[in-house]
Chains A and B, each alone.
Chain A
Amino acid sequence: MLNLASLSLIGTGDLVMAQNTTALSKKPRRRLSQRQIEELVAYLFISPWVIGFLIFTVGAMLFSLGLSFFDTDLLSRTRFVGPGNYIALFQDPLFIKSLWVTSYYSLAVVPLGTIIALLIALMLNQKIVFQGTFRVIYYLPALVTGAAVAVLWTWVLNPDIGLLNGALMRLGIPRASLPRWFLSETWAVPSIILMSLWGTGANMLLYLAGLQSIPTQLYDAAKIDGANSFRLFWHVTLPMLSPTIFFNVVLNIIASYQVFTQAYLLTNGGPNNATLTMVMYLFRKAFQQFYFGYASAIAWILFAIILAFTLLVIRSSDAWVYYEGSRR
């Protein structure tokens, strides 16, 4: 019986060995139980994550998926509506608008943020004086996230007394044609984009770290072969940096679709829902209007979009991400 139990524990790969040990002596069996102890201890060690995963991920996901088929305020009103929420969502002009707003934001912020961060990192990676100081200056805004940055930018972008319009006036743009930023439907999303781009220093640091880990021999070899600086960038820097860019772009897409705090604090979704992002809409539906089923359906569509984009980028990565050696 005992042997049978240990057999099933170690799996088929070790079958032959296990049979031998039972036939021979006690010593190897002690090694076996060591292995079992290791396994039990390992499960104990990962148990915080497993418990959290079961309750706060699997359990919550199932619950959320279930909720999305109900019309409920989680108190008195609970009515099964089947796929009703999803059907209603795609006929809800506000939800369609939130899809556009979020995609607009994401499509602008991810590429622009990547390019700006990459440019700054490339400049900082040259042999320059005060490199450390420049790095700190470019990174500082990234430390100011959440509420503080939004509070600050409500004033930077203030159409009348704000810093940005003041600067534009200095540049000679007449007062009447200055953008009204978050007070105008056209400029509201660009306002949030600008605000997010200001904090792109985190991406910059990542690229800088990536650039500094490229071996210099590669550049030396390319120079001997007569490569100019553009070719160095195109044939050495970019391929070597592509895994870092890839990793960062994936994380940025995921984060950009969850944009909330900026939209909430700067415009509260306005004017006329011009900055109603998906999470902003979810928040409104769930925690201000108590349509928890409807809000759960929004969450699942958000998840589907994020998943689709992430898989798309991962799929496309074979074509443009270069891994040194034969890794992956």
Chain B
Amino acid sequence: MSQLASQQQVVKKASTYRISYILSQVALYTALILGAFIFILPLLWMLSSSVKPGYQVYAVPPEWIPDYFVWDGYIQPWSQFPMGTFYKNTIILVVLNTLGTLLSSSIVAFAFARMRFRGRDLLFVVVLSTLMLPPQVTLIPTYWFFARLGWVNTLTPLWVTAFFGAPFNIFLLRQYFMTIPLEMDEAARMDGCSWFDIYWRIMIPLSAPALGVVAVFSVTHWWNEFMGPLIYLNSQENFPLSLGLALLNSRNFNNVQATFAMTSIALIPMVVIFFIAQKLYIQGLVISGVKG
């Protein structure tokens, strides 16, 4: 009798456990889906508004499905604004900055990770502490310096500093280099490799994931960078895409579709890069943050 009762109790316990499990799953998925909707909605709205006829764009409350498609927003800005030039300038900034920071940060990180020299640890602390320095502190002198060189309203001041190494990238690459076994270097040294050989022919090929992370971060940063171009550039033919979009938005109130369309197009490369490099993103975060 008592055995039966306890058995019933166990069954009852199991079923309440099951119910609470199902409830928690329902709550989890509801929250996830609701949250996902909130996050994706502005982007979907942007896409739909880029092809909606004018009266629907201004409809209150918003209408989602276009009555008919208007592609004008994707065509008209190209003749109204130097969109091609905006893209060209952005690509120049992205390529030079990414190349610059990859070359300079990696060789500096290599020395910090693999070589012995006096003051190394202290200097590395200095590298890290410059992470805390807001760029606004050095902005005005840097501006003055580049103005003296006659570089205002050129792209040069926006990429030249990339070739002096970026503290965060140095830190990230150093962390990665440290995980590669030291025996590699020692063996290479035995075989008469120079330090540069070890850096260029051993470390660089072995560090593709970390270099990829730095590249991806740099590309997304410079694709979107706004304040630097805003300060240094003043004529449209030097504008990158970020300034171009702001210009489009401020000058084009009667054609909202164009703003939405051009913003949508501008996002495509970033989305593509993210899908290709998703693993790299997460790996980069692990290298820099979780193990840091």
Chain A residues within CB distance 8 Å of chain B: 11, 35, 38-39, 41-43, 45-46, 48-49, 51-53, 55-57, 59-61, 63-64, 67, 74, 120, 123-124, 126, 128, 134, 136-141, 143-148, 150-156, 160-163, 166-167, 169-170, 198, 201, 205-206, 208-210, 213, 243-244, 247-248, 254, 257-258, 260-261, 264-265, 279, 282-283, 286-287, 292, 295-296, 299-300, 302-303, 306-307, 310
B interface secondary structure, majority: helix
Q: How many Å from the CB of B146 to the closest CB on chain A? A: 10
Q: Is B225 positioned at the interface, with any CB of A under 8 Å from its CB?
A: yes
Q: Is the CB of A53 within 8 A of B292?
A: no
Give the 9 A-B residue pairs with the shortest CB-CB distance, closest first.
A52-B164, A146-B224, A60-B138, A45-B111, A147-B242, A63-B141, A166-B61, A49-B165, A42-B117
Residues of chain B lying within 8 A (CB to CB) of residue A61: 133, 137-138, 141
Q: Is B69 an interface residue (CB 8 A)?
A: no
Asked if residues A43 and B117 are in contact (CB atoms below 8 Å), the reply is yes
Q: In this complex, what residue of B is CB-closest to A137? A: B36
Interchain CA distance A264-B195 in the complex, whole Å: 47
Once bound together, how far apart are the Cα atoms of A153 and B245, in whole Å? 13
**Given A123-B31, A258-B134, A151-B245 contact (CB < 8 Å):** yes
Q: Check B190 for interface membership: any CB of A closer than 8 A.
A: no
B23 within 8 A of A: no
Q: Is the CB of A51 within 8 A of B164?
A: yes
Report if A42-B116 is in contact (Cβ < 8 Å); known contacts: A170-B61, A302-B134: yes
**Do A148 and B267 touch (CB < 8 A)?**
yes
Instruction: Give chain B interface residues in 87-118, CB to chain A under 8 Å.
Output: 104, 107-108, 110-112, 115-118
Q: Is B1 located at the chain interface by the 8 A CB criterion? A: no
CB distance from A244 to the nearest CB of B (A): 5
Q: Which of B245-292 contact A (CB under 8 A)?
A: 245-246, 248-249, 256, 259-260, 263, 266-267, 270-271, 274-275, 278, 281-282, 285-286, 289-290, 292
Contact flag A46-B224 (CB < 8 Å), given A148-B245, A151-B249, A210-B289 = no
Count how many chain B residues have C-beta atoms less than 8 Å from C-beta atoms of the other chain.
91
A265 touches B246 (CB 8 A): yes
The digit string for B29-62, where 1 denotes a CB below 8 A from any CB of A, is 1011001100111110110010000000111111
Q: Is B111's CB under 8 angstroms from A42's CB?
A: yes
Assembled-state Cα–Cα distance A141/B206 (Å): 32
- Nearest A residue to B199 via CB reads A45
B residues contacting A by CB (< 8 A) are 28-29, 31-32, 35-36, 39-43, 45-46, 49, 57-62, 104, 107-108, 110-112, 115-118, 120, 123, 126-127, 130-145, 147, 161, 163-165, 170, 195-196, 199, 220, 224-227, 230-231, 241-243, 245-246, 248-249, 256, 259-260, 263, 266-267, 270-271, 274-275, 278, 281-282, 285-286, 289-290, 292
> Smallest CB-CB separation from B33: which chain A residue?
A134
A-B contact list, 6 entries, CB within 8 Å = A52-B165, A63-B144, A140-B40, A145-B220, A170-B61, A209-B289
CA distance A303 to B132 in the complex (A): 8
| A52–B161 CB distance below 8 A | yes
CB-CB under 8 A from B127, the residues of chain A are 49
| Beta-carbon contact of B286 and A209 below 8 Å | yes
B152 to chain A: closest CB distance in Å?
Answer: 11
| CA A138 to CA B123, docked complex, whole Å | 38
User: Which residues from B are CB-within-8-Å of A296?
Assistant: 140
The answer for the CA separation of A93 and B135 in the assembled complex, in Å, is 25
Chain B contacts of A138 at CB under 8 A? 35-36, 39
Q: Are A136 and B107 in contact (CB under 8 A)?
A: no
Name A169's closest neighbour in chain B (CB-CB): B61
Q: A268 → chain B, closest Cβ, in Å?
A: 10
CB distance from B199 to the nearest CB of A (A): 7
B40 → A minimal CB distance (Å):
5
Contacts of B161 in A (CB 8 A): 52, 56
Does the CB pair A299–B224 fall under 8 Å?
no
CB distance from B135 to the nearest CB of A (A): 8
CB-nearest residue of chain A relative to B248? A151
